[in-house]
Structures are given as C-alpha cells and as structure tokens.
Amino acid sequence: MVIRHLMIAAFLLILSSHSYALSSIQASVDRNPVTQGEYFVLNIVADDEIDAANLDTSVLLKDFIVGRTSVSRSTQMINFKTSKETRWQILLAPKNKGQITIPSLRIDKIGSNPIPLKVVDATAIPEKMKNLFIEAELSSQEAYVGQMLIYTVRLFLAAELQRGAINAPVLEGAKIKQIGDDKDFDQLVDGRRFRVIERTYAITPSFPGELTIAGASFAGDILINAPGRQGLFTFNESRPMHARAQKHVVLVNSLPAHLQGTALVADLVVLKESWPQEDANKTTEYQVGSPITREITLIASNADESQLPEIEQNLPQGLKTYPEKPQRKSIVRDQRLVSQLVQTTAIVPTTAGSFTLPEIIVPWWNPHLKKQDFAKIPARTVQVVAPVLLQATNLPPAQTSEPRAGFWPWLSGFLALCWLLTLGMLYQARTKQLTQISVENLSNQGHPQGTKANTAQALNALQIAAQDKNASQTLKALLHYYQTASNKELTLIQLSQQQPKLSDTISQLQAIAYGGKKQTYDYDALISLVKSLPLNDKPEEKVTLDALNPS
C-alpha cells in the first residue's frame, strides 16, 4: 500500500513539474541596425518543448514582412538534469525606416522581451558593404525611336548563391530582349572579392517621349555563416535576398520627318558586294544565258537583324534576276549587337552588250552625329557576250521522191501519229505533275533530321525530277537532298562549296533553267555523280560576321 501511494505521488509530481516547466522566452536578432527591405533573423528560444503553433507571430505583420520560419527542438541532460528547448528562427524585413520595436511574442502567459530596432535606408549603407547588391548601366540617357540601347546589369555576390534569378527591367513603350549569354567572373571591390554575374539587354524605344526603366531585380537565397547555439561553431544558413537596380529615365526623340527611305537607326552601317565568279586578275566577261551570282551584304552595329531592310536591285532590261531568301544573323561583339543580312541573287543575261548596274543606296540615321547617312555600293558595268555557237552539222543527202500512193495511206499515218503524240503528252504531263508534287511536298516538309529514310526519300525525288529532265525541279530536288542529308539550311553557293564536283553541274542546270534557250544535259550522269559523292557532313562552324570595316 505504501509503495502504491509513493508511485501516485511521484506521477503527480512529474505532471506538475511538466505543466510549469516553461518559464522564459528569450528574443534576439542577428544584427542591429538593419536595412529597410532586407531580411534579418529574429531568434525566439523557449526553455521547454513547445508546439510550434503555440507561438503567435501575427503582431509582427504591422511593421515587417514575415518570411520563412523554421522550428527546431533539443534536449540536454547534464548531471542527470534534463533541459528542453524550442527555437524559432523567423526571417523579417522592415517595411519602413526609423526606430521601431519588435513586440513581445507570447505563449500562454509567458512573453518574450521587446527589442528596439533601428532601421536605416538602403542607400545609407554602402553597396560594397553588403553581401549582395545589383547595378545597372545604360548606354545613353537620350535616344531616337528605333535606336537600340544597351542595358547591362551586374549582380555582385559576397556570399554563396543557393538559388535565384535575375529579372529583366520593367518598362512600357519599348521592345526588350536579352542578347548574348551571361558572364560569370570575380571582381575585387575595395579589397573585397565578389562573384559577378553580368547580363546584357537590348532596349529599342517604340514611341517618342519619356521612357522610364524600372531597374532589373534579383530574388533568391544565399548561404551565410550563422553562429551555433553555444557559439562554438558556425554553419551555413539560407537567407532570402531581394535587390533592385536603380531606375533610368530616357528622353526618346522622334526621327526627322524629312528622312529618305527606311528609318534604320544604327551606330554604323556597311554595305558591300561580292561576285564569286569574278576573276580578280582580268576583266570578266559573262555569256548570255549563263547565270551570274551576286552577293550583297548589309552589316549594322547596334541594330536588330529584323530592322535590316531587304536590298532592292533595279537592273536594266536584258538582265533577269532570281533572288534567294535573305539570310539574317547577329552576334554580340564587345557589348554591341552586330547584325547582318546577306542577299544572294542569280542574274541571267538574255542579250549581249554592256550593262550598267545602278548604284545601291541604304539610308540610315546616325544617332550620335544626329544626321542621316548613306551606305552605298557604287554603280558598275558588266560585259555580256554571245555564247559560242555550235558548229553546223552536215545535212543528210536529199531523198529521192517516191510516187504518191494515194490519199488513204497519208490519212492513216496522220491519225496514228496523232494517237502516239496524245499518249506521249499525257505521259509527260503525268510525270511532270508527279515530279512537282514530289519535290514540293518534300520542300514543304522543311528539312527533317537526316535519317536514312528521309535521305532516301529526298534522293528518290531527285531521280524523278531528273527522269523528267526538268532543270528547275532538279535544282530544287538536288538542294533539298543535301539539306536533308546535312540537316541544315543551304544555298546553291554553299552547296557548290561543300561539294566542289557539283559546281559545274549546278551552273549548267541554272543556265538551262534561267537561260531561256533549250540545251541538252545528261541527267543520268548527274544521278550517278550524286550517288558517288560522300555525304560526310562537316561540323557546323561557329557563327561569325564579316568585319564592319571592309578592306
């Protein structure tokens, strides 16, 4: 009986001691003063094992943005004495600057100590003293409609980046796009080493007036060294961070109303031409019916490739033009966007003589000199000669006339001939239709990956076009076959460079297709040549642009 009473008394003592174990709640911050809008850590420690939901933090919402909250519990036994602890780590960002107080946080009737807190303006602390800050530069504070501005943003990190993203500047009334890849490097700022992530944007105003650019921003988490509970060691702690670059205001001017031609705005524009068939050592003479290749290249600094106008060529009568689709590309060079347009045209002379190709002019606006300038290709004269005539073949000897056999044999022969001609025309029309459908279907499908099945299908279309002896369709099918095999876009000039043995073949087919005169060609030899050539595709070359200053 005595033992039973002792056990009940001990149990009641344990319950009583547990009910009144929570005796204090301590509050502290990791730093003071703090910066407006920047997160700091509020530590709350209760000397017992407490349910996390028992701590009411709603009173913090008045003056702070409450971020992530983490809760941990621990139990220690020293000299047979057990102590328990519950710790809250609350991330807070002050809404306003000035002197504020972190209020007492309560669990039941026990409250934490209030903490006076000094909040300073973000600009009061030098950027270089922070663990993270962001800067932005704009190439000009004044621009014209259509002028490309270069916006460069740099994120400085003195702590390890755990996660995060740079957000583009916010604006209205302008086009914006990222150019190039991010750069990642180290930089010393007043003896302190920072990791720098640099990103470049192109901003093109669309309307005159004031353009306000809200700075690019960063949102993410960094890892910082935090002291251990007993102050004996440190560990990495994730801390959310937010930063925004300064605002920019740009004055956007309208272009003058008297401008000639397309309103291309750029820092520099260069226009040049090349004639792949031209012999630099002597005057080149071209033949009637033989196609002439002309490449015109337009290069502009700090202009988007979509802004480059197509080149118009007003050639004299006697010269027919067959332009290819312009090729556009751009690269970033020395923090500038350099864009290029290449327009290739096949020129076919239809008569002999001397022809003057008129001057080509592309007007553009120089925003730095504030005047209109012109990129030019000077006029030039080309000489076209008649083709070498084939020697006349000997005529067959005259046939001895036979006596007429009457009317009916002639009529029967005429009807039989008409019947044979009709069958031949039907067969030719059907074959031509199948050729066009086959080639056009393949062209409409684009250029699929160069699998064996796709390459074989393209070769079959080439054979059909060759059987029909259609030079134009054969050229299309030939180009499509090599585009499919190499899995990339090609022009006829590029194909000639890739497969030199096809260069003469392509020139002959162009002369037949565009020359306007009937010529004979061995299409079977073409198919044999194509099948004999290897399809080893060279690795794709890095995108490059011609120099801005042609020599």
CA distance 26 to 355: 95
Cα torsion 32, 33, 37, 42 to 10°: value is 10
111, 178, 499, 522, 532 from 528: Cα distances, Å: 94, 49, 14, 10, 6
């279309």: which residue's tokens?
A: 461
Strand-pair partners of 423: none
């076009």: which residue's tokens?
A: 465
Q: Dihedrals φ, ψ of 488, to 5°?
A: -160, 160
State the pTM of this model.
Answer: 0.63
Predicted local confidence at residue 234, as pLDDT: 52
Report whether 151 contacts 203 (CB < 8 A). yes
The separation between CA 24 and the C-alpha centre of its own chain, rounded to angstroms, equals 60
Asked if 21-124 and 268-385 have one fold, the answer is yes
Residue extents of the structural domains in the chain: 21-124, 127-253, 268-385, 425-532
Topology, domain 268-385? Immunoglobulin-like (2.60.40)
CA distance 412 to 69: 105
Report whether 350 contacts 294 (CB < 8 A). no
CA distance 152 to 135: 8
Closest CA to 60 of 9, 11, 115: 115
263, 304, 472, 549 from 272: Cα distances, Å: 20, 19, 29, 10
SS (H, E, C) 66-84: EEEEEEEEEEEEECCEEEE
Give per-residue pLDDT as tens, 86-125.
Answer: 989 888 989 998 999 999 988 888 888 999 999 988 777 7
Closest CA to 499 of 470, 521, 530: 530
Predicted local confidence at residue 423, as pLDDT: 53
Name residues whose C-beta falls within 8 Å of residue 338's C-beta, 6 or more positions apart in sequence.
299, 300, 301, 330, 331, 332, 545, 548
Report whether 382 contacts 286 (CB < 8 A). yes
255, 308, 342 from 262: Cα distances, Å: 11, 9, 18
CA distance 36 to 120: 6
- Written as one string, the DSSP assignment of 358-383 is PPEEEEEEETTTTEEEEEEE--EEEE
Name the pairing type of β-strands 285-287 and 380-385.
Answer: parallel
Tokens of 489: 């876009």
CA distance 151 to 382: 47
Give per-residue pLDDT as tens, 29-77.
Answer: 888 888 888 888 899 998 888 887 888 888 999 999 888 888 888 887 7
The low-confidence residues of the chain, meaning pLDDT below 70, are 1-20, 128, 226-235, 279-283, 388-451, 515-518, 536-551
The separation between CA 201 and the C-alpha centre of its own chain, rounded to angstroms, equals 12
List the end-to-end C-alpha distance of the chain, in Å, as a whole number. 114
CA distance 282 to 405: 65
CA distance 211 to 209: 6
| Residue 283: count of CB within 10 angstroms of its CB | 8
Tokens of 529: 């040549």
């036994």: which residue's tokens?
A: 77
The separation between CA 514 and the C-alpha centre of its own chain, rounded to angstroms, equals 37
Predicted local confidence at residue 191, as pLDDT: 83
CATH value of 127-253 in 1.25.40, 2.60.40, 2.60.120, 3.40.1710: 2.60.40
CA distance 429 to 434: 9
Burial 33-51, CB ≥16 within 10 A → b, else e: ebbbbbbbbbbbbbbbebe
Predicted local confidence at residue 392, as pLDDT: 40
* Helix or strand (DSSP H, E) at 355: strand 353-357
CA distance 388 to 457: 39
| Residue 379: count of CB within 10 angstroms of its CB | 10
Tokens of 203: 């901003």
- Written as one string, the DSSP assignment of 486-537 is HTS---HHHHHHHSGGGHHHHHHHHHHHHSSS-----HHHHHHHHHHS---P
Report whether 360 contacts 380 (CB < 8 A). no
The separation between CA 119 and the C-alpha centre of its own chain, rounded to angstroms, equals 43
CA distance 470 to 436: 10
Topology, domain 21-124? Immunoglobulin-like (2.60.40)
Helices and strands, number each (H, E), in the chain:
7, 30
Residues in the chain, how many?
551
